[in-house]
A and B are shown apart, each in its own frame.
Chain A
């Protein structure tokens, strides 16, 4: 049984739309690579299992932009050594071929620490930004997500792991019988393959997705929403190999309670209800909540109210308690993210049965 996994969402300033007002950095430092570096180092040192990085081609409002998540994750791969790196990559208008290549590269660069939060882009402004036909209905978003996951996984499988043979006597670098055309034919496009990037170290990077968007059997980890533990428990799909609860958190800090901090930010903006479990209060209570959740799900993804404020509290007063209780590991313990999460090795759909 794998330890309870604790993921941290590190995009932007925090889960609250006005979080930037309480950040330790000003907006003009938002794109500073040193800030990203320190964030990755701190998340790893604190013992988080992995970080996720929200993304979309369309900018938000505060912050009004972000560097692409695969680029940020690749940068973090060089400044961390065990932390899982899991960018959000949308599927509605992106090219599955490019998505597959970027995530495979991330897995190579990080020696098997890559994951993918399957995203979607309901805002039709994205269609005009991409120059593609609009996809606006839920069924269309689900179709594009399902096709992307299918194609991306097939491309990861299109090179068997031993395809590079370097056989000097026959002058062959590759065994072409260990490369496979995927010949995908979907409702809106087709993809031939094979990939241009060799099979990722993990076989398939770990695929995270909300069950509302992607059929849980297509994912490795279902990201489960629900306003309380019971709702999370009933929404967690049995078909998914692993289930993580989505948790928004406003913790008490040295000078203020979580509730006071939320109230202060409420002067600027409301904190929209995304249907997720939300905890406001002290670290001890949050540890109790996580302990309770550990009986239901395999991990959590934490969305902090204000990243710069919650992260030190999580590092000092939450994660150590989980370690003392032997609920969470001191650091990701597997050779790959996949093994850290207790997932089975990837099976290659195209594997040839020779020897």
Chain B
């Protein structure tokens, strides 16, 4: 039930925070439209980042894949594929934006901590404190075939590795005293004696010695994002993250339950309930009227599920070669097979294919749907919030003021203009209701997110703090 008195909510003054996820490698990015621009040209990245900055967004967000997705041992050819190295692209955007946060998804399994710490530290300095790191893990050996070590990590060790990589990175970020670099060319040395502490990190999955190359940025450390939804992933986030990029942002009750679960986990981790922002991934489709918005959503869905994509989605669900079937005909009459979990198609696989197929068949029979229509209605979908600016603003007011979310990480379905509607019509509607900032009040990503400076960071004498052996393995 919606409370009517605006003061009768847990967070009457809460405002929404938006990030934009420059998508690509999945079927929700429409590439068949004349308006769909290049997925690699720098102009596309600049346009989306600058549009988001015009809309006073907190962050511009890039994903990462370390191997091209495959179906049945062949490179998947139906979706957008290919993208720039994220940190390199964001370093360029640092030069043509001034406020928006720049967040890279970077894998801790196939990157090494000293290198990652330095790359993120560099981005943080180039952007004057606007860097963020979405920490992701993988255990699959299929991705490992592109790297020196090959597959090496057990599934159970994914988050232990992540925690150790992050621990080492934080020690490296904190290894320079704030006054390490001399303020005069007549100083005794370029860096004050003893002001840069060598870092030794000893864990069973990360064991390194390194001297850091960079001072802290204005925000102390890059902002840590985390997106895993498993219980382990949530605990990792509660212990380590500043922002959760969640999958719970459509149904109010589901979003609130997730947020309350995270707050419980934060308490267990000894962190305050407001130490972390929850930004579900979402798509927003805006229209001048409800029916216009619904029509647009329908159109988007049909563009996303091309006949080829419908068949590919069904192939993933069935795990059977369906190439002989007509996407515009009935559902395949064969039974689904056990799922393969090699990681070759990311996390797209469904856990219980038999039940899902049965459900699809029932619905298709009831409505007279073809295979493609069934996928459009029931397939793996980029769910959207659909409505008018005013209607969406009222809806989001409840989400944010009741403490179910802090905002959204939005995925436009079209590059580079897919964000324009949100910035031009939804943002003003939110601002009118006091739900959104009317100007940037800070300069760093942490300030945009109303997060305190990095926990381990500012003012701590690094030599005393980190020139020691960490023992993260002993922690539970």
Interface of A toward B, CB cutoff 8 Å: 20-23, 26-28, 30-31, 33, 36-37, 57-59, 61-68, 70-72, 74-79, 94-95, 97-98, 101-102, 104-106, 108-109, 111, 125, 128-132, 159, 163-164, 166, 168, 170-176, 179, 188-194, 196-198
Q: Does B47 contact A (CB under 8 A)?
A: no
Identify 22 residue pairs between A and B in the complex whose beta-carbon atoms are under 8 Å apart, listed by A's number: A26-B182, A28-B182, A31-B215, A33-B126, A62-B191, A64-B180, A64-B191, A65-B213, A67-B126, A67-B214, A71-B91, A94-B115, A97-B66, A105-B88, A128-B208, A128-B209, A129-B208, A130-B112, A171-B306, A179-B75, A189-B149, A198-B82
Q: A61-B190, A189-B149 are in contact. List 13 more A-B contacts (CB 8 A).
A: A26-B182, A26-B184, A31-B215, A33-B126, A57-B115, A70-B91, A97-B147, A105-B84, A106-B88, A108-B42, A129-B209, A171-B308, A191-B145
Beta-carbon contact of A74 and B185 below 8 Å = no
CA–CA, A125 and B213, complex, Å: 14
CA–CA, A63 and B215, complex, Å: 12
Interface of B toward A, CB cutoff 8 Å: 31-32, 40-42, 46, 65-68, 74-75, 77-85, 87-89, 91-96, 110-115, 118-119, 121-123, 125-128, 145-150, 176, 180-187, 189-191, 196, 206-215, 306-309
For the complex formed, measure the closest distance between the CB of B170 and the CB atoms of chain A, giving whole angstroms. 16
Contacting residues, chain B, for A23 (C-beta < 8 A):
185
Contacting residues, chain B, for A77 (C-beta < 8 A):
42, 92, 95
Beta-carbon contact of B92 and A173 below 8 Å = no
Beta-carbon contact of B118 and A130 below 8 Å = no
Beta-carbon contact of B208 and A27 below 8 Å = no
For the complex formed, measure the closest distance between the CB of A330 and the CB atoms of chain B, giving whole angstroms. 25
* Minimal Cβ-Cβ distance residue in B for A31: B125
Contacting residues, chain A, for B67 (C-beta < 8 A):
192, 196
- Of the candidates B112, B214, B306, which one forms a contact with A31 in the assembled complex, judged by CB atoms under 8 Å apart? B214
Beta-carbon contact of B190 and A131 below 8 Å = no
For the complex formed, measure the closest distance between the CB of B326 and the CB atoms of chain A, giving whole angstroms. 13
Beta-carbon contact of A74 and B207 below 8 Å = no
Beta-carbon contact of B126 and A71 below 8 Å = yes
Known: A27-B181, A109-B89, A128-B209. A33 touches B95 (CB 8 A): yes
* Minimal Cβ-Cβ distance residue in B for A34: B128
CA–CA, A297 and B148, complex, Å: 37
* Minimal Cβ-Cβ distance residue in B for A181: B75
* Minimal Cβ-Cβ distance residue in B for A78: B95
Contacting residues, chain B, for A21 (C-beta < 8 A):
185-186
CA–CA, A306 and B47, complex, Å: 38
CA–CA, A59 and B117, complex, Å: 13
For the complex formed, measure the closest distance between the CB of B459 and the CB atoms of chain A, giving whole angstroms. 17
Contacting residues, chain B, for A74 (C-beta < 8 A):
88-89, 91-92
Known: A27-B190, A129-B208. A108 touches B84 (CB 8 A): yes
Q: DSSP majority for the B interface? A: loop
* Minimal Cβ-Cβ distance residue in A for B148: A189
For the complex formed, measure the closest distance between the CB of A139 and the CB atoms of chain B, giving whole angstroms. 18
CA–CA, A129 and B181, complex, Å: 22
A-B contacts, CB under 8 A, total: 221
Q: DSSP majority for the A interface? A: mixed
For the complex formed, measure the closest distance between the CB of A104 and the CB atoms of chain B, giving whole angstroms. 7
Known: A64-B196, A194-B75. A131 touches B126 (CB 8 A): no
Known: A102-B85, A172-B77, A197-B84. A59 touches B208 (CB 8 A): no
Beta-carbon contact of B115 and A27 below 8 Å = no
* Minimal Cβ-Cβ distance residue in A for B122: A67
CA–CA, A344 and B146, complex, Å: 29
Beta-carbon contact of A196 and B65 below 8 Å = yes
Known: A109-B88, A130-B115, A196-B83. A63 touches B209 (CB 8 A): no
Contacting residues, chain A, for B92 (C-beta < 8 A):
74-75, 77-78, 109
Beta-carbon contact of A57 and B118 below 8 Å = yes
Contacting residues, chain B, for A30 (C-beta < 8 A):
181
Contacting residues, chain B, for A78 (C-beta < 8 A):
42, 46, 92-93, 95-96
Contacting residues, chain B, for A109 (C-beta < 8 A):
42, 84, 88-89, 92
Known: A108-B84, A166-B32, A179-B75. A27 touches B191 (CB 8 A): yes
Contacting residues, chain B, for A70 (C-beta < 8 A):
85, 88, 91
Beta-carbon contact of A59 and B212 below 8 Å = yes
Beta-carbon contact of A174 and B77 below 8 Å = yes
CA–CA, A54 and B200, complex, Å: 25
Contacting residues, chain A, for B213 (C-beta < 8 A):
57-59, 64-67
Contacting residues, chain B, for A79 (C-beta < 8 A):
95
Contacting residues, chain A, for B74 (C-beta < 8 A):
176
Beta-carbon contact of B112 and A191 below 8 Å = no
Known: A64-B190, A130-B208, A172-B308. A188 touches B148 (CB 8 A): yes
CA–CA, A198 and B80, complex, Å: 11
Contacting residues, chain A, for B150 (C-beta < 8 A):
189-190
Known: A22-B185, A128-B209, A176-B75. A192 touches B146 (CB 8 A): yes
CA–CA, A58 and B209, complex, Å: 11
Contacting residues, chain B, for A173 (C-beta < 8 A):
31, 77-81
CA–CA, A173 and B69, complex, Å: 13
Known: A78-B95, A171-B307, A196-B68. A57 touches B77 (CB 8 A): no
Q: Which 4 A-B pairs have the closest CB atoms?
A: A171-B308, A65-B213, A62-B190, A105-B84
Beta-carbon contact of A37 and B85 below 8 Å = no
Beta-carbon contact of A164 and B125 below 8 Å = no
Beta-carbon contact of A130 and B78 below 8 Å = no
* Minimal Cβ-Cβ distance residue in A for B86: A105
Contacting residues, chain A, for B182 (C-beta < 8 A):
26-28
CA–CA, A179 and B67, complex, Å: 12
